[in-house]
Chains A and B, each alone.
Chain A
């Protein structure tokens, strides 16, 4: 039970034994595969327009039907996985890095640094996130890169608060006092002692954050201010679904299912990591 190795393997064992979390992980792996090897899952080109076969219902040659330009929906859903994966990871990467930075500074140094940074966090939280994202996008061009950056820049406040709280409690522990007594500097204490101990809650927040970022991206793309056609994204396929809502249910059903399953996967994995990292919280 002592030492980080055994707690690490305990953690992995608890995580794998949690069937829901394992299922979530499997879903995520599956969508990773889709993004890496789209050709294996669909023989059609995602952007190949075929005006003879417009809005065909699902059939043997087009298992998920075709859209209003005759493009294969399965191919578009498969290639769309890349977009959501990219957005999820880059946006959360930005948010986590920023949140870590602000949270560590705030928690470790306290005083006026903490006061200023936390008031800034409070203020950012006053803006409805979706409003803020839309406003910034209106100033920029809608593109996948801008979307990722904007979702990241508007999503770090939760992580910052979390890291700050963890840092506050960790820096009062005996092992930090011991390190200080041995003459360790601020950098060493932060990176050797505080940071590693905040990793579990950050991992949970990041996993759930990927789910949130995917949902936000799909909503933005659906509204036409996210990923721009012809690049397929689950959200912008659904725009076509809305435009043809009276004739083509398959255009609305399948991309949405893909979003639902992916987001569910990340949420289940995130909850699983939380339970495995701190079994006392299980079932809450």
Chain B
């Protein structure tokens, strides 16, 4: 097992190098260069002062030297300072935004598992039944619904019409005056819609995936054997079939990281949630290149980490993988 993990870790090194190279080159190709944004518009900036700035930031060095320096800073999570008026370090800005984004995504993953696995298993076991047909239609609709549109509809229904749930931010105006329980309830009410929507796309995908896994497993010989020796159908389905059908789901968990991160841009913007997605969107709108590249790089690292955890988790669960 340790050997498998070590080999898997080694494989991520070229990927890490690749990611850093792409990020660096993109940053380098930013219009006007990294100092352009500050000086292009400034009529007082002479060619001489620009050259001085370039030298100051090391931009007069050859590309590979610059890459080396940049890599060194990356390793210490130093993404430089944001172009926004506050000029704070990008790493600091991201750090304060990440917890809420991760919270919402973890909650929505929990929701996906809670709903999609029973739905997928039931559909597969009762293939062709009314339940199967309804859930298939629901899944296909789920694949086709633009999440941001669904968000708008839910805001109209639950926020504007019924007035049950707040539609923006993560806390009410009187949040500070609430007791501990009140605070938890308030935060919870604000998170209901975002979590639902963050999980929506995954819900459709996961139940479909679970269904086809289950169908595949049910056809296997060992299921026929289990039935033939007279085991009750419930034992066959839950002990023998479902356990095996669940294995590949571990992989999906890790692979869903990039989609969840991408989705967070959309729903955090819609619901005005101060997370990493919203920060990224603001960065894109104001062309805050250090911030954009910082979040892009962190997003890639998180994805890589997700893949790694998925593979290791799968190997832990399935001995065939680590020995093959």
Residues of A participating in the B interface, judged by any CB pair closer than 8 Å? 119-120, 122-123, 125-132, 134-139, 211, 215, 218-219, 222-225, 238, 241-242, 245-246, 249, 252-253, 255-256, 259-261, 263-264, 267-268, 283-284
Residues of B participating in the A interface, judged by any CB pair closer than 8 Å? 14-15, 18-19, 22, 26, 29-31, 127, 140-141, 143-150, 152-153, 155-156, 160, 167, 212, 215, 257-259, 261-263, 265-266, 269-270, 280-281, 283-285, 287, 289, 292-293, 295-296, 299-300, 303-304, 307
Q: Do B141 and A126 have beta carbons less than 8 Å apart? A: no
How far is A122 from B18 in the complex, measured between Cα atoms in Å? 9
CB distance from B37 to the nearest CB of A (A): 12
Q: B284 is contacted by which of A128, A138, A260 (Cβ under 8 Å)?
A: A138
Apart from A128-B257, A130-B265, A131-B265, 4 more pairs, CB < 8 Å: A123-B22, A135-B284, A260-B144, A264-B141
Q: Chain A residues near B18: list those with CB within 8 A.
A: 119-120, 122-123, 126
Q: Chain B residues near A223: list those with CB within 8 A.
A: 265-266, 269, 281
CB distance from A38 to the nearest CB of B (A): 22
Q: Do B146 and A215 have beta carbons less than 8 Å apart? A: yes
How far is A131 from B287 in the complex, measured between Cα atoms in Å? 14
17 chain-A/chain-B pairs, Cβ below 8 angstroms: A119-B18, A122-B15, A123-B15, A123-B18, A130-B262, A131-B261, A131-B295, A138-B287, A211-B144, A218-B146, A219-B148, A245-B152, A252-B152, A256-B149, A263-B146, A264-B141, A267-B143
Q: Known: A211-B144, A264-B141. Is A224-B293 also a contact (CB below 8 A)?
A: no
Q: A249 is contacted by which of B127, B149, B156 (Cβ under 8 Å)?
A: B156
| B15, B144, B259, B293: most-surrounded residue (chain A CB, <10 A) | B144
Q: Chain B residues near A261: list those with CB within 8 A.
A: 144
Q: Chain A residues near B29: list those with CB within 8 A.
A: 139
Count, A-B residue pairs, CB within 8 A: 144
Q: Chain A residues near B149: list those with CB within 8 A.
A: 218, 238, 252, 255-256, 259-260
Q: Chain A residues near B144: list those with CB within 8 A.
A: 211, 215, 259-261, 263-264, 267
Residue of B nearest to A246 (CB): B160
Q: Do A252 and B153 have beta carbons less than 8 Å apart? A: yes
Q: Do A135 and B262 have beta carbons less than 8 Å apart? A: no
Q: Known: A122-B15, A245-B160. Is A127-B303 also a contact (CB below 8 A)?
A: yes
How far is A138 from B37 in the complex, measured between Cα atoms in Å? 13
The secondary structure that dominates the A interface is helix
How far is A220 from B148 in the complex, measured between Cα atoms in Å? 10
Q: Do B265 and A139 have beta carbons less than 8 Å apart? A: no
How far is A134 from B280 in the complex, measured between Cα atoms in Å? 9
Q: Do A219 and B300 have beta carbons less than 8 Å apart? A: no
Q: Known: A120-B18, A264-B140. Is A131-B148 also a contact (CB below 8 A)?
A: no
Q: B265 is contacted by which of A134, A215, A242, A267 (Cβ under 8 Å)?
A: A134
Q: Do B303 and A267 have beta carbons less than 8 Å apart? A: no
Residue of B nearest to A132 (CB): B296
Q: Do A242 and B152 have beta carbons less than 8 Å apart? A: yes
Q: Chain A residues near B156: list those with CB within 8 A.
A: 245, 249, 252
Residue of A nearest to B167 (CB): A245
| B127, B156, B167: most-surrounded residue (chain A CB, <10 A) | B156
Q: Do B152 and A219 have beta carbons less than 8 Å apart? A: no
Q: Do B15 and A127 have beta carbons less than 8 Å apart? A: no
CB distance from A234 to the nearest CB of B (A): 8
Q: Do B296 and A131 have beta carbons less than 8 Å apart? A: yes
Q: Do A128 and B212 have beta carbons less than 8 Å apart? A: no
Q: Do B270 and A242 have beta carbons less than 8 Å apart? A: yes
CB distance from B2 to the nearest CB of A (A): 23
Q: Chain A residues near B280: list those with CB within 8 A.
A: 131, 134
CB distance from A258 to the nearest CB of B (A): 10
Q: Do A260 and B146 have beta carbons less than 8 Å apart? A: yes
